[in-house]
Structure 1
Amino acid sequence: MDPSVFSVLILSAYGIYFMLPAYLANASALTFGGGTPLDMGRSLKDGRRLLGDGVTWRGTIIGILIGVAIGLLQGITGPAVYDLLMIGDPLIGNMIQGTITFTALQGTLLGLALGSGAIIGDACGSFIKRRFNVERGRPVPLMDQLDFVVGALILASLVVSIPLNLIIVIVIITLFLHLGANIIAYLLGMKNVWY
Protein backbone atom coordinates (compact mmCIF):
# COMPACT_ATOMS: atom_id res chain seq x y z
CA MET A 1 0.00 0.00 0.00
CA ASP A 2 1.19 3.49 -0.83
CA PRO A 3 2.52 5.12 2.38
CA SER A 4 0.56 8.33 1.78
CA VAL A 5 -2.71 6.37 1.45
CA PHE A 6 -1.86 4.49 4.64
CA SER A 7 -1.23 7.80 6.44
CA VAL A 8 -4.59 9.17 5.29
CA LEU A 9 -6.32 6.00 6.54
CA ILE A 10 -4.64 6.30 9.94
CA LEU A 11 -5.51 9.98 10.20
CA SER A 12 -9.10 9.22 9.17
CA ALA A 13 -9.43 6.46 11.77
CA TYR A 14 -8.05 8.78 14.42
CA GLY A 15 -10.42 11.56 13.31
CA ILE A 16 -13.37 9.25 13.96
CA TYR A 17 -11.91 8.21 17.32
CA PHE A 18 -11.29 11.83 18.34
CA MET A 19 -14.84 12.89 17.40
CA LEU A 20 -16.63 9.93 19.04
CA PRO A 21 -17.84 12.00 22.03
CA ALA A 22 -19.38 14.54 19.62
CA TYR A 23 -20.77 11.95 17.20
CA LEU A 24 -22.38 9.91 19.96
CA ALA A 25 -23.62 12.98 21.86
CA ASN A 26 -25.35 14.22 18.70
CA ALA A 27 -26.84 10.80 17.92
CA SER A 28 -27.93 10.28 21.55
CA ALA A 29 -29.72 13.62 21.66
CA LEU A 30 -31.77 12.50 18.66
CA THR A 31 -32.33 8.95 19.89
CA PHE A 32 -33.18 9.73 23.51
CA GLY A 33 -34.65 13.20 23.00
CA GLY A 34 -38.26 14.15 23.31
CA GLY A 35 -40.18 15.79 26.08
CA THR A 36 -39.84 19.42 27.08
CA PRO A 37 -38.23 21.63 24.42
CA LEU A 38 -35.08 23.46 25.48
CA ASP A 39 -36.67 26.77 24.44
CA MET A 40 -39.73 25.98 26.59
CA GLY A 41 -41.96 26.84 23.61
CA ARG A 42 -40.81 30.46 23.44
CA SER A 43 -40.81 32.45 20.23
CA LEU A 44 -38.89 35.55 19.24
CA LYS A 45 -40.47 38.79 18.04
CA ASP A 46 -40.53 37.36 14.51
CA GLY A 47 -43.16 34.89 15.76
CA ARG A 48 -40.92 31.89 15.11
CA ARG A 49 -39.77 29.48 17.78
CA LEU A 50 -36.39 30.05 19.34
CA LEU A 51 -35.21 26.47 18.65
CA GLY A 52 -38.28 24.33 18.07
CA ASP A 53 -39.54 21.03 19.44
CA GLY A 54 -36.55 19.01 18.15
CA VAL A 55 -34.08 20.38 20.73
CA THR A 56 -35.13 19.04 24.13
CA TRP A 57 -33.88 19.09 27.70
CA ARG A 58 -33.70 15.29 27.86
CA GLY A 59 -31.78 15.04 24.58
CA THR A 60 -29.40 17.80 25.64
CA ILE A 61 -28.62 16.27 29.04
CA ILE A 62 -28.28 12.71 27.76
CA GLY A 63 -26.18 13.83 24.80
CA ILE A 64 -23.73 15.72 26.99
CA LEU A 65 -23.52 12.83 29.49
CA ILE A 66 -22.78 10.38 26.66
CA GLY A 67 -20.03 12.70 25.39
CA VAL A 68 -18.49 12.86 28.89
CA ALA A 69 -18.66 9.06 29.31
CA ILE A 70 -16.99 8.42 25.95
CA GLY A 71 -14.34 11.03 26.75
CA LEU A 72 -13.64 9.32 30.08
CA LEU A 73 -13.11 5.99 28.28
CA GLN A 74 -10.85 7.70 25.76
CA GLY A 75 -8.80 9.22 28.57
CA ILE A 76 -8.28 5.79 30.05
CA THR A 77 -7.35 4.20 26.68
CA GLY A 78 -5.39 7.23 25.37
CA PRO A 79 -1.88 5.84 25.98
CA ALA A 80 -2.70 2.65 24.07
CA VAL A 81 -4.16 4.63 21.17
CA TYR A 82 -1.03 6.78 21.04
CA ASP A 83 1.19 3.67 21.00
CA LEU A 84 -0.85 2.27 18.09
CA LEU A 85 -0.50 5.53 16.17
CA MET A 86 3.24 5.57 16.72
CA ILE A 87 3.53 2.01 15.42
CA GLY A 88 1.25 2.77 12.45
CA ASP A 89 2.74 6.14 11.45
CA PRO A 90 5.08 8.03 13.81
CA LEU A 91 4.68 11.27 11.83
CA ILE A 92 0.91 11.28 12.38
CA GLY A 93 1.36 10.13 15.98
CA ASN A 94 3.62 13.10 16.69
CA MET A 95 1.42 15.53 14.74
CA ILE A 96 -1.75 14.74 16.71
CA GLN A 97 -0.14 13.93 20.06
CA GLY A 98 -1.60 17.10 21.59
CA THR A 99 -5.14 15.93 20.87
CA ILE A 100 -4.82 12.60 22.68
CA THR A 101 -5.90 12.47 26.31
CA PHE A 102 -3.66 10.47 28.64
CA THR A 103 -5.70 10.61 31.87
CA ALA A 104 -9.31 10.06 32.84
CA LEU A 105 -9.60 13.75 33.81
CA GLN A 106 -8.24 14.98 30.46
CA GLY A 107 -10.56 12.61 28.61
CA THR A 108 -13.55 13.73 30.66
CA LEU A 109 -12.82 17.41 29.96
CA LEU A 110 -12.36 16.80 26.24
CA GLY A 111 -15.50 14.63 26.16
CA LEU A 112 -17.43 17.41 27.91
CA ALA A 113 -16.14 19.95 25.40
CA LEU A 114 -16.88 17.78 22.35
CA GLY A 115 -20.27 16.59 23.62
CA SER A 116 -21.43 20.03 24.78
CA GLY A 117 -20.09 21.63 21.63
CA ALA A 118 -21.97 19.15 19.47
CA ILE A 119 -25.23 19.86 21.30
CA ILE A 120 -24.69 23.63 21.20
CA GLY A 121 -23.74 23.53 17.52
CA ASP A 122 -26.86 21.55 16.68
CA ALA A 123 -29.01 23.98 18.68
CA CYS A 124 -27.40 26.90 16.82
CA GLY A 125 -28.29 25.16 13.56
CA SER A 126 -31.90 24.88 14.73
CA PHE A 127 -31.90 28.55 15.71
CA ILE A 128 -30.66 29.56 12.25
CA LYS A 129 -33.21 27.33 10.53
CA ARG A 130 -36.04 28.92 12.53
CA ARG A 131 -34.83 32.40 11.58
CA PHE A 132 -34.97 31.46 7.89
CA ASN A 133 -38.39 29.83 8.39
CA VAL A 134 -37.12 26.35 7.55
CA GLU A 135 -39.58 23.81 8.95
CA ARG A 136 -38.39 21.15 11.36
CA GLY A 137 -37.07 18.15 9.47
CA ARG A 138 -36.47 20.07 6.24
CA PRO A 139 -32.90 19.80 4.94
CA VAL A 140 -30.30 22.53 4.84
CA PRO A 141 -27.34 20.87 3.13
CA LEU A 142 -23.98 21.14 4.88
CA MET A 143 -25.42 22.94 7.90
CA ASP A 144 -27.37 19.82 8.88
CA GLN A 145 -24.21 17.72 8.62
CA LEU A 146 -21.69 20.12 10.10
CA ASP A 147 -23.35 22.39 12.68
CA PHE A 148 -22.59 19.99 15.52
CA VAL A 149 -19.03 19.43 14.25
CA VAL A 150 -18.28 23.16 14.20
CA GLY A 151 -19.61 23.55 17.74
CA ALA A 152 -17.67 20.50 18.96
CA LEU A 153 -14.39 21.63 17.38
CA ILE A 154 -14.73 25.18 18.72
CA LEU A 155 -15.22 24.02 22.31
CA ALA A 156 -12.61 21.24 21.96
CA SER A 157 -10.08 23.82 20.78
CA LEU A 158 -10.35 25.38 24.24
CA VAL A 159 -9.03 22.10 25.69
CA VAL A 160 -6.57 20.83 23.03
CA SER A 161 -4.83 22.21 19.96
CA ILE A 162 -6.35 20.59 16.85
CA PRO A 163 -4.15 20.47 13.72
CA LEU A 164 -5.74 21.87 10.55
CA ASN A 165 -5.29 18.65 8.59
CA LEU A 166 -7.19 16.75 11.30
CA ILE A 167 -10.01 19.31 11.11
CA ILE A 168 -10.20 18.88 7.33
CA VAL A 169 -10.31 15.09 7.62
CA ILE A 170 -13.01 15.30 10.32
CA VAL A 171 -15.20 17.56 8.16
CA ILE A 172 -14.89 15.28 5.11
CA ILE A 173 -15.50 12.08 7.08
CA THR A 174 -18.45 13.61 8.93
CA LEU A 175 -20.25 14.44 5.70
CA PHE A 176 -20.19 10.77 4.70
CA LEU A 177 -20.81 9.36 8.19
CA HIS A 178 -23.74 11.70 8.84
CA LEU A 179 -25.45 10.82 5.57
CA GLY A 180 -24.87 7.10 6.13
CA ALA A 181 -26.14 7.25 9.72
CA ASN A 182 -29.25 9.15 8.64
CA ILE A 183 -30.03 6.60 5.94
CA ILE A 184 -29.68 3.77 8.47
CA ALA A 185 -31.87 5.61 11.01
CA TYR A 186 -34.48 6.17 8.28
CA LEU A 187 -34.43 2.47 7.31
CA LEU A 188 -34.81 1.50 10.98
CA GLY A 189 -37.78 3.86 11.36
CA MET A 190 -35.97 6.22 13.74
CA LYS A 191 -36.22 9.16 11.32
CA ASN A 192 -38.97 10.24 8.95
CA VAL A 193 -36.54 11.40 6.24
CA TRP A 194 -33.35 9.80 4.87
CA TYR A 195 -31.29 12.98 5.10
Structure 2
Amino acid sequence: MYLIRLLLGLVYYFPAFVANGSGPLVKNGTPIDFRKNFQDGRRILGDGKTFEGLLMGLTYGTTVGVVLSFFFGVHWIIISFMEALGAMLGDMAGAFIKRRMNIPRGGRAIFLDQLDFVLGSTALGIISGLRVSLTQFLFVIMVAFIAHITTNVMAYRLRIKSVPW
Protein backbone atom coordinates (compact mmCIF):
# COMPACT_ATOMS: atom_id res chain seq x y z
CA MET A 1 0.00 0.00 0.00
CA TYR A 2 2.87 2.38 0.84
CA LEU A 3 4.55 1.77 -2.53
CA ILE A 4 1.23 2.42 -4.30
CA ARG A 5 0.93 5.80 -2.54
CA LEU A 6 4.46 6.73 -3.63
CA LEU A 7 3.78 5.71 -7.22
CA LEU A 8 0.49 7.60 -7.14
CA GLY A 9 2.52 10.69 -6.23
CA LEU A 10 4.50 10.21 -9.44
CA VAL A 11 1.27 9.95 -11.41
CA TYR A 12 0.09 13.21 -9.83
CA TYR A 13 3.27 14.94 -11.06
CA PHE A 14 3.27 13.39 -14.52
CA PRO A 15 1.84 16.56 -16.18
CA ALA A 16 4.77 18.57 -14.76
CA PHE A 17 7.35 16.01 -15.92
CA VAL A 18 5.85 15.98 -19.42
CA ALA A 19 5.65 19.78 -19.59
CA ASN A 20 9.23 20.20 -18.42
CA GLY A 21 10.54 17.59 -20.85
CA SER A 22 8.70 18.90 -23.89
CA GLY A 23 10.10 22.44 -23.94
CA PRO A 24 13.58 21.47 -25.19
CA LEU A 25 11.99 19.82 -28.23
CA VAL A 26 11.50 23.31 -29.69
CA LYS A 27 14.75 24.15 -31.44
CA ASN A 28 14.19 27.77 -32.47
CA GLY A 29 11.62 30.15 -31.17
CA THR A 30 10.87 33.60 -29.88
CA PRO A 31 12.62 34.16 -26.54
CA ILE A 32 10.23 35.05 -23.73
CA ASP A 33 12.60 37.81 -22.63
CA PHE A 34 12.69 39.23 -26.19
CA ARG A 35 16.50 39.14 -25.90
CA LYS A 36 16.41 41.88 -23.26
CA ASN A 37 18.95 42.25 -20.48
CA PHE A 38 18.25 42.63 -16.78
CA GLN A 39 19.63 45.57 -14.78
CA ASP A 40 22.84 43.59 -14.21
CA GLY A 41 23.51 43.60 -17.95
CA ARG A 42 22.86 39.87 -18.39
CA ARG A 43 19.99 38.31 -20.29
CA ILE A 44 16.80 37.97 -18.28
CA LEU A 45 16.22 34.31 -19.22
CA GLY A 46 18.17 33.51 -22.37
CA ASP A 47 17.36 32.01 -25.75
CA GLY A 48 16.38 28.65 -24.26
CA LYS A 49 13.07 29.92 -22.86
CA THR A 50 10.71 30.53 -25.77
CA PHE A 51 7.03 31.18 -26.23
CA GLU A 52 6.84 28.10 -28.45
CA GLY A 53 8.44 25.91 -25.76
CA LEU A 54 6.06 27.34 -23.16
CA LEU A 55 3.06 26.62 -25.38
CA MET A 56 4.31 23.09 -26.09
CA GLY A 57 4.83 22.40 -22.38
CA LEU A 58 1.38 23.71 -21.48
CA THR A 59 -0.24 21.73 -24.28
CA TYR A 60 1.48 18.44 -23.49
CA GLY A 61 1.05 18.79 -19.72
CA THR A 62 -2.63 19.64 -20.06
CA THR A 63 -3.15 16.75 -22.46
CA VAL A 64 -1.84 14.44 -19.77
CA GLY A 65 -4.45 16.03 -17.51
CA VAL A 66 -7.20 15.14 -19.94
CA VAL A 67 -6.13 11.49 -19.71
CA LEU A 68 -5.85 11.67 -15.91
CA SER A 69 -9.33 13.19 -15.72
CA PHE A 70 -10.79 9.84 -16.83
CA PHE A 71 -9.36 8.27 -13.67
CA PHE A 72 -9.38 11.08 -11.10
CA GLY A 73 -12.13 13.46 -12.26
CA VAL A 74 -12.49 16.39 -14.60
CA HIS A 75 -10.82 18.78 -12.13
CA TRP A 76 -7.51 17.14 -13.09
CA ILE A 77 -7.53 19.06 -16.36
CA ILE A 78 -7.19 22.30 -14.38
CA ILE A 79 -4.70 20.80 -11.93
CA SER A 80 -2.60 19.51 -14.82
CA PHE A 81 -2.66 22.85 -16.62
CA MET A 82 -1.57 24.59 -13.43
CA GLU A 83 1.13 21.98 -12.77
CA ALA A 84 2.42 22.40 -16.33
CA LEU A 85 2.38 26.19 -15.97
CA GLY A 86 4.13 25.92 -12.60
CA ALA A 87 6.75 23.60 -14.07
CA MET A 88 7.46 26.01 -16.90
CA LEU A 89 7.53 29.06 -14.58
CA GLY A 90 9.78 27.16 -12.17
CA ASP A 91 12.13 26.36 -15.02
CA MET A 92 12.13 30.02 -16.06
CA ALA A 93 12.87 31.06 -12.47
CA GLY A 94 15.79 28.64 -12.52
CA ALA A 95 17.07 30.20 -15.76
CA PHE A 96 16.72 33.67 -14.23
CA ILE A 97 18.75 32.60 -11.17
CA LYS A 98 21.39 30.95 -13.35
CA ARG A 99 21.79 34.13 -15.41
CA ARG A 100 22.25 36.13 -12.19
CA MET A 101 24.93 33.64 -11.15
CA ASN A 102 26.60 34.19 -14.55
CA ILE A 103 25.94 30.59 -15.59
CA PRO A 104 25.42 30.55 -19.37
CA ARG A 105 22.61 28.76 -21.20
CA GLY A 106 23.29 25.07 -20.96
CA GLY A 107 25.53 25.63 -17.94
CA ARG A 108 25.20 23.29 -15.01
CA ALA A 109 23.59 24.21 -11.69
CA ILE A 110 23.18 21.02 -9.69
CA PHE A 111 19.87 20.75 -7.81
CA LEU A 112 18.50 23.93 -9.39
CA ASP A 113 18.44 22.27 -12.81
CA GLN A 114 16.69 19.19 -11.46
CA LEU A 115 14.22 20.67 -9.01
CA ASP A 116 13.06 24.11 -10.18
CA PHE A 117 10.18 22.65 -12.18
CA VAL A 118 9.04 20.41 -9.30
CA LEU A 119 8.88 23.35 -6.91
CA GLY A 120 6.98 25.50 -9.42
CA SER A 121 4.52 22.73 -10.28
CA THR A 122 3.94 21.97 -6.60
CA ALA A 123 3.15 25.60 -5.80
CA LEU A 124 0.61 26.06 -8.59
CA GLY A 125 -0.64 22.48 -8.26
CA ILE A 126 -1.51 22.92 -4.59
CA ILE A 127 -3.26 26.23 -5.33
CA SER A 128 -5.45 24.43 -7.87
CA GLY A 129 -6.30 21.41 -5.70
CA LEU A 130 -3.34 19.02 -5.87
CA ARG A 131 -3.09 17.02 -2.64
CA VAL A 132 0.20 15.24 -2.00
CA SER A 133 1.79 14.06 1.19
CA LEU A 134 5.26 15.16 2.25
CA THR A 135 6.48 11.62 1.58
CA GLN A 136 5.08 11.70 -1.96
CA PHE A 137 6.64 15.11 -2.54
CA LEU A 138 10.07 13.96 -1.33
CA PHE A 139 9.80 10.80 -3.43
CA VAL A 140 8.98 12.89 -6.51
CA ILE A 141 11.98 15.12 -5.81
CA MET A 142 14.24 12.07 -5.63
CA VAL A 143 12.81 10.61 -8.84
CA ALA A 144 12.97 14.00 -10.59
CA PHE A 145 16.62 14.38 -9.66
CA ILE A 146 17.55 10.96 -11.05
CA ALA A 147 15.23 11.20 -14.07
CA HIS A 148 16.50 14.65 -15.02
CA ILE A 149 20.10 13.48 -15.11
CA THR A 150 19.22 10.30 -17.01
CA THR A 151 16.96 11.92 -19.61
CA ASN A 152 19.42 14.74 -20.24
CA VAL A 153 22.19 12.26 -20.97
CA MET A 154 19.84 10.45 -23.37
CA ALA A 155 18.79 13.73 -25.02
CA TYR A 156 22.45 14.63 -25.44
CA ARG A 157 23.20 11.29 -27.08
CA LEU A 158 20.20 11.74 -29.38
CA ARG A 159 21.50 15.23 -30.23
CA ILE A 160 18.39 16.92 -28.83
CA LYS A 161 20.54 18.79 -26.28
CA SER A 162 24.01 20.22 -26.78
CA VAL A 163 25.22 19.28 -23.27
CA PRO A 164 24.53 16.18 -21.16
CA TRP A 165 23.09 18.08 -18.17
Q: TM-score, normalised by structure 2?
A: 0.94
Alignment-derived partner of residue 134 in structure 1: 103
Give the alignment partner of residue 119 of structure 2, picking from 150, 159, 162. Answer: 150
Shift of 1:169: 0.8
Alignment-derived partner of residue 2 in structure 2: 7
Alignment-derived partner of residue 151 in structure 2: 181
| 1:56–1:62 distance in 2 versus 1, CA, 3 Å | same
Alignment-derived partner of residue 71 in structure 2: 77
Give the alignment partner of residue 167 of structure 1, picking from 137, 140, 146. Answer: 137
Shift of 1:164: 1.1
Amino acid in the other structure paired with 2:12: F
Separation (CA, whole Å) in 2 of partners of 1:56 and 1:192: 17
Give the alignment partner of residue 32 of structure 1, picking from 20, 26, 32. Answer: 26
Does structure 1 conserve the Cα–Cα contact (< 8 Å) formed by 2:61 and 2:84? yes
**SS of residue in 2 equivalent to 1:191:** coil
Post-superposition CA distance 1:97-139 (Å, at most 9, x none): xxxxx22xx0110111110000000000000011111111110
Separation (CA, whole Å) in 2 of partners of 1:60 and 1:39: 12
**SS of residue in 1 equivalent to 2:71:** helix
Separation (CA, whole Å) in 1 of partners of 2:163 and 2:36: 26
Alignment-derived partner of residue 47 in structure 1: 41
Separation (CA, whole Å) in 2 of partners of 1:138 and 1:17: 30
Separation (CA, whole Å) in 2 of partners of 1:139 and 1:154: 24
Q: TM-score, normalised by structure 1?
A: 0.80
Separation (CA, whole Å) in 2 of partners of 1:17 and 1:35: 30
- Larger gyration radius, structure 1 or structure 2: 1
Alignment-derived partner of residue 116 in structure 1: 85
Does structure 2 conserve the Cα–Cα contact (< 8 Å) formed by 1:71 and 1:111? yes
**SS of residue in 1 equivalent to 2:38:** coil
Q: How high is the sequence identity, in percent, across the aligned residues?
A: 32
Aligned residues between the structures: 164
Post-superposition CA distance 1:43-74 (Å, at most 9, x none): 11211011000000100011111111111110
Amino acid in the other structure paired with 2:97: I
Does structure 1 conserve the Cα–Cα contact (< 8 Å) formed by 2:84 and 2:121? yes
Amino acid in the other structure paired with 2:55: I
Does structure 1 conserve the Cα–Cα contact (< 8 Å) formed by 2:94 and 2:113? yes
Shift of 1:33: 5.0
**SS of residue in 2 equivalent to 1:157:** helix
